[in-house]
């Protein structure tokens, strides 16, 4: 490893190892954030390796392959050791083997947090010289996912400690939202050490034709961002106004949300109005989403939603769908009201009904709004657009690491 990387013209090139708390599926952070970020870095001449635990898909243990210039390594399992300790040790060995200039830990918790902690201690002992960067795309601690996920009390305490320790001990911190940026500053992390790197598009689609058939409202969700009864109310009010209106459900719930949704639909007399597409391969997603005339994007106004950077919203905009969304957190960063989508006050179900109905009644205006959204995503929200900031974060982190005695 060269602590300063290698220089090509005016471009600094580094070896970057990204580590995650889980694998590429089914959760989204590593597949929707780390991997596309890594691909964009590789296209700019950096050497990038992903080191991942085979969790929750143990069948991936020991796999290794290259994808668009990025080396992806799943850690092997050991039947003779306690899995958290054994996996962490193996992840650290793989990281050190790559002789990285930068180690970028995605989420300051679980395995990624353990690896960061060990490398920090090794660096203090003079046995590691690389820069340590942490990425956060969610708020995990009090008021965040700690309060929603079924963790044990000791897990909650551990993850809350890891989050604060990891964010404050990083040479540089990349954040996916303005709310996370503010939370980092509130921890006392200097502003110069915090780099705003929001999510970017994964989907690319040509201009969308007006879909045929009856009016169709897209529900692209895992049901995690809102109260189910609010969605069912909005659907019921829209269905009451148009006898031929249908809804297209795209997605896959992590828990029992979809089952509860089906029960709520049956009670509201809406079961026959919903077309169930379910989980869709990314390659098919633009074609499936483009069947809709309007999309709804609900987000309750809470800390989890204010801190996240919603990839599903970006997907909807990227394929040219006009979206009616709650004006929460990062949503106004992607939707310019009346131009690239329609914002409603957070939690205002009646306003969402009226906005969606207005767009359904004005298909040409809705199409133009969706096309403006697609062009905006293409022009300003690709991963290539995020690379200058990310490279600034790495340069700052490398300078801090090499300045240490």
User: Residue 179 domain-assigned?
Assistant: yes
Q: Which residues contact 357 (CB under 8 A, 6 or more apart)?
A: 238, 241
* pLDDT at site 11: 55
Mean of the per-residue pLDDT values of the chain = 94
User: Is the four-CA dihedral 265, 271, 274, 277 of positive or negative sign?
Assistant: positive
For residue 77, pLDDT over 90 is answered with no
Q: How many domains does the chain have?
A: 2
Say if 240 falls within a structural domain.
yes
User: Is 211 within the bounds of a domain?
Assistant: no
Same-domain check for residues 160 and 244: no
Q: Are residues 50 and 193 in the same domain?
A: yes
Domain with 331, as residue range(s), is 216-380
Indicate the range of 2-11, 200-209, 346-355 predicted with least confidence: 2-11
**CA 402 to CA 384: how far, in whole Å?**
27
Residue pLDDT, tens place only, 379-403: 999 999 999 999 999 999 999 999 8
pLDDT at 334 exceeding the cut of 70: yes
Q: Which residues touch 62 (CB under 8 Å, ≥6 apart)?
A: 54, 74, 75, 76, 77
What CATH number corresponds to the domain at position 22? 3.40.50.2000
Q: Give 56's pLDDT tier (boundaries 50, 70, 90).
A: confident
Q: 100 and 130 in contact (C-beta within 8 Å)?
A: yes
206 sits in the region (left: phi over 0; alpha: psi -120 to 50; else beta) called beta
Please tell me whether residues 171 and 193 are part of one structural domain.
yes
**196 and 264 both lie in a single domain:** no
Only one residue has tokens 């602590």, namely: 3
Pairing state between β 102-106 and 70-74: unpaired
Confidence bin at 254 (pLDDT 50/70/90): confident
Half-sphere exposure of 329 (CA within 13 A, CB side): 28
Q: Is the pLDDT of residue 27 over 90?
A: no
94 shares a domain with 38: yes
- Domain check: are 88 and 175 in the same one? yes
Residue 32: predicted pLDDT: 94
User: How high is the pLDDT of residue 81?
Assistant: 58
Q: Which residues of 359-368 are buried (b: 16+ CB within 10 A; e: fewer)?
A: bbeeeeebbe
CB 51 within 8 A of CB 75: yes
> Who has greater pLDDT, 86 or 354?
354
Q: How confident is residue 82, by pLDDT bands cut at 50, 70 and 90?
A: low
Sign of CA dihedral 277, 279, 284, 288: positive
What is the structure's pLDDT at 79? 67
Do 183 and 226 fall into the same domain? no
pLDDT reported for residue 25: 80
Q: Using pLDDT thresholds of 50, 70 and 90, give the confidence band for residue 5.
A: low
Alpha-carbon gap, residue 322 to 290, rounded angstroms: 10
pLDDT at 123 over 80: yes
Query: Are residues 308 and 167 part of one domain?
Result: no
Q: Count of CB atoms within 10 A of residue 205's CB?
A: 19
Three-state secondary structure readout of the chain: CCCCCEEECCEEECEEEEECCCCCCCCCHHHHHHHHHHHHHHHCCCEEEEEECCCCCHHHCCCEEEECCEEEEECCCCCCCCHHHHHHHHHHHHHHHCCCCEEEEECCCHHHHHHHHHHHHHHHCCCCCCEEEEEECCCCCCCCHHHHCCCCHHHHHHHHHHHHHHHHCCCEEEECCHHHHHHHHHCCCCHHHEEECCCCCCCCCCCCCCCCCCCEEEEECCCCCCCHHHHHHHHHHHHHHCCCCEEEEECCCCCCHHHHHHHHHHHHCCHHHEEEEECCCCCCHHHHHCCCCEEEECCCCCHHHHHCCCHHHHHHHHCCCCEEEECCCCHHHHCCECCCEEEECCCCHHHHHHHHHHHHHCHHHHHHHHHHHHHHHHHHCCHHHHHHHHHHHHHHHHHHHHHCC
Does residue 259 lie in a domain region? Answer: yes
Residue 208 inside a domain? The answer is no
209 located within any domain = no
Rounded to an integer, what is the distance from CA 221 to the centroid of its chain? 13
Residues 6+ apart with CB under 8 A from 279: 251, 252
pLDDT of residue 404: 74
Q: Is the pLDDT of residue 4 over 90?
A: no
Using the structure block, give the residue that is written with the tokens 């982190």.
397
260 confidence band (pLDDT: 50, 70, 90): very high
pLDDT at 6: 56
pLDDT at 139 over 60: yes
Percent of the chain, pLDDT > 90? Answer: 86
The answer on 243 and 101 residing in a single domain is no
Q: What is the pLDDT of residues 87-114, one digit of tens each?
A: 999 999 999 999 999 999 999 999 999 9
Same domain, 41 and 173: yes
Is residue 109 a part of any domain in this protein?
Answer: yes
CA 319 to chain CA mean position, Å: 18
167-185: pLDDT as tens digits: 999 999 999 999 999 999 9
Residue 1 within a domain: no
pLDDT over threshold 90, residue 57: no
Query: Same structural domain for residues 184 and 296?
Result: no
pLDDT tens track for 265-300: 999 999 999 999 999 998 999 999 999 999 999 999
Cα–Cα distance for residue pair 92/123, rounded to 1 Å: 13
First to last CA, the chain: 18
Nearest Cα residue to 385 out of 201, 137, 135: 201
pLDDT at 3: 45
Is residue 128 pLDDT above 90, yes or no?
yes
Tell me the average pLDDT across 337-355. Answer: 98
- 49 and 185 both lie in a single domain: yes
């Amino acid at each position: 490893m060269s602590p300063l990387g290698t220089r090509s013209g005016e471009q600094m090139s580094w070896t970057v190892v990204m580590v995650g708390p889980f694998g590429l599926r089914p959760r989204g952070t590593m597949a929707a954030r780390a991997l596309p970020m890594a691909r964009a870095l590789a296209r700019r001449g950096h050497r990038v390796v992903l080191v991942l635990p085979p969790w929750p898909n143990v069948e991936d243990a020991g796999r290794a392959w290259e994808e668009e210039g990025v080396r992806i390594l799943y850690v092997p399992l050991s039947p003779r050791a306690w899995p958290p300790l054994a996996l962490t040790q193996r992840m650290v060995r793989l990281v050190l083997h790559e002789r990285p200039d930068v180690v970028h830990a995605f989420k300051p918790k679980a395995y990624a947090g353990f690896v960061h902690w060990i490398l920090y201690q090794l660096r203090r002992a003079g046995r590691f010289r690389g820069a340590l960067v942490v990425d956060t795309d969610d708020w995990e601690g009090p008021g965040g996912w700690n309060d929603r996920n079924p963790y044990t009390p000791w897990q909650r305490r551990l993850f809350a400690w890891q989050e604060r320790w990891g964010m404050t001990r990083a040479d540089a911190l990349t954040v996916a939202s303005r709310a996370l940026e503010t939370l980092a500053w509130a921890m006392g992390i200097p502003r110069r050490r915090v780099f705003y790197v929001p999510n970017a598009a994964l989907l690319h689609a040509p201009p969308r034709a007006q879909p045929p058939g009856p009016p169709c409202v897209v529900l692209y969700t895992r049901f995690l961002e809102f109260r189910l009864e609010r969605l069912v109310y909005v659907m019921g009010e829209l269905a009451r106004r148009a006898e031929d209106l249908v809804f297209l459900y795209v997605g896959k719930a992590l828990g029992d949300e979809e089952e509860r949704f089906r029960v709520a639909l049956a009670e509201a007399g809406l079961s026959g109005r919903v077309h169930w597409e379910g989980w869709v391969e990314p390659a098919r997603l633009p074609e499936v989403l483009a069947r809709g005339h309007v999309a709804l994007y609900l987000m309750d106004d809470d800390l989890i939603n204010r801190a996240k950077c919603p990839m599903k919203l970006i997907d909807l905009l990227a394929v040219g769908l006009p979206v009616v969304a709650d004006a929460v957190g990062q949503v106004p960063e992607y939707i310019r009201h009346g131009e690239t989508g329609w914002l409603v006050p957070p939690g205002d179900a009646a306003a969402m009904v009226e906005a969606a109905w207005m767009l359904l009644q004005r298909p040409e205006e809705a199409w133009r709004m969706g096309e403006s959204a697609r062009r905006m995503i293409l022009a300003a929200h690709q991963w290539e657009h995020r690379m200058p900031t990310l490279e600034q974060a790495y340069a700052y982190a490398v300078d801090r690491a090499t300045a240490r005695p």
